[in-house]
Amino acid sequence: MGLFDDVPLNRREFIKAILKGGVAVSSLPLALKLLGILEEPAYAELVQKMLVPHSRPLDNNRVQCLVCPFNCILKIKERSQCFTKQNDDGKLFTYAYHNPCIISVDPVEKMPLHHYLPGSQTLTLAIGGCNLHCLYCQNWQQSQKKPDELKMAAKMDKDETLSALKKKELKILAFNYTEPVVMLEWIIELSKFVRPKGYKVVIGTALYINAEPLKALLDAVDGVVVGLKGFTEEFYKKVTGGTLKPVLDGLVKVKEEKKHLEVVNLVVPTYNDKEEDIKRMCEWFVKNLGAETPLHFSRFEPMYKLQNLPRTPLKTLETAHKMAKDCGIKFVYIDNLAPHPANDTYCPKCNKPLIKRVGLRILENSLKEGKCSQCGESIPGVWR
């Protein structure tokens, strides 16, 4: 006996049933859309784009981006290494413009900036994309995507940005989490608008950028945190996809331009934790950036493509900290590991703890107008 033996179904009824089914199936997307189960229309339609000044046209409608050392040469509709720039009809456009995927109010210590208005909060913005592809990136969900693929948190043009700064009574506009270099044009536009009104602009960057755009970027900012990811070309090539030399050149340039600078070195077990490399880095640091530039050793956390590694052992960080101090660097910190005495700022002369921290929180700040409250030693930084 068949399953449908008892069902009286003649040819006419059969065709009717098929038609009904067809209508039902074809109207399913509409019904789902009405119920809101189907996704929103593509976000890309909402994205604005802007011409990239640091570029040059080539033959056959190709165009070259000159922002970072990759110097991508792009054919029509091709995207750059950093996911943000595209050749549209022989012109280079950036799609990282007014469309942050991250808008947040964070402590300035999260940049990390320890010598820049401690205890203040920043309005932090980030657009998707990055020109480096670090295997351990902790924000890879945003940095390794096209900006127009990510959901825009809110449209942030200069008026919206200023209004947000005012609403939250913030004094610092920050660009962090992804790579400011790939949103250079937007940063410059916002900076030109807010800095004359008394706001500070700071960035957290890997500084993988060519000399000319770097000059433009530095003109637009007050403070820079640079992630110096390692100290060998091999490490940069293997882990970030970039090269070390442009970063070192950039760091020297930041110092020359007298911008507030703090450097972060994420210590990745077995990758960049060799004592001889750390020592060489510290020696270079003192020679080129000076003993007064703060250096942060940051603890690695298994992330993204390096989940097979353990966290950086405490001892490794403490050894790196000691080596940096022995090299003469005056302000050396350990980040992402709290509580630890190396979270605090000490007077380099009398060793009094001046700013006590637990993680990103400030417990006590005994600095008096940028000077040690005990011996009067002047501490480099922006304190008000």
Partner 1 sequence: MRWITVGTVFCLACVFSFGQERKDAPVQEKEDLLVELFKMAAEQEFIREKTSFINLINGLNLSKEQMSEILKVNEEFRAEVERRYDELKEKFKQAKECFERWIEIIKKGELPEKEMKETQMADSEMVKIGHWVQSLQQKYGEHLDKVFTDAQRAVIDDFNPCIVPPQNLRDPIRVGQASGANPELINGLRFIRSLNGKPFQQRIVIESAVQRAVKFETELAHLTEEEQKVEAERIRKLIEKACDMSDVDFELNKDKLAEEFISGSAYEKLKKLQKEMEKIGSEIQKIGKERRLRNADRVVKYFLNPVIVEPILKERLGSFEEKKSSGAEKAGQNR
Enumerate binding residues for partner 1 (CB under 8 A): 35-36, 40, 102-106, 109-112, 123, 126, 138-139, 142, 153-156, 160, 163-164, 167-168, 176-177, 204, 227, 264, 296, 298-299, 301, 314, 335-341, 343-344, 356-361, 363-364
Smallest distance from the beta carbon of 369 to partner 1, in angstroms?
23
Tokens read off for 240: 């970030």
Smallest distance from the beta carbon of 61 to partner 1, in angstroms?
37
Smallest distance from the beta carbon of 238 to partner 1, in angstroms?
21
For the chain, the residue count is: 384
By beta-carbon proximity to partner 1, the closer residue of 80 and 139 is 139
By beta-carbon proximity to partner 1, the closer residue of 153 and 216 is 153
Pairing of strands 223-227, 172-175: unpaired
Distances (CA, A) of 382 to 117, 174, 217, 301, 376: 6, 15, 20, 30, 16
Q: Give the residue from 156, 184, 161 showing the smallest Cα distance to 172.
A: 161
List of residues 6+ apart from 90 with CB closer than 8 A: 57, 61, 62, 63, 76
Smallest distance from the beta carbon of 36 to partner 1, in angstroms?
4
Q: How many CA atoms lie within 13 A of 285 on its CB side?
A: 31
Smallest distance from the beta carbon of 56 to partner 1, in angstroms?
33
By beta-carbon proximity to partner 1, the closer residue of 63 and 267 is 267
Strand partners, 92: 87
Smallest distance from the beta carbon of 312 to partner 1, in angstroms?
12
By beta-carbon proximity to partner 1, the closer residue of 168 and 287 is 168
Check if the beta carbon of residue 117 is closer than 8 Å to that of residue 382: yes
Smallest distance from the beta carbon of 373 to partner 1, in angstroms?
16
What is the DSSP code string of 8-25?
Answer: ---HHHHHHHHHHHHHHH
Cα-Cα-Cα-Cα torsion 130, 134, 135, 139, nearest 10 degrees, comes to -50
Report residue 381 CA to chain centroid gap: 22
By beta-carbon proximity to partner 1, the closer residue of 68 and 123 is 123
By beta-carbon proximity to partner 1, the closer residue of 103 and 135 is 103
By beta-carbon proximity to partner 1, the closer residue of 92 and 132 is 132
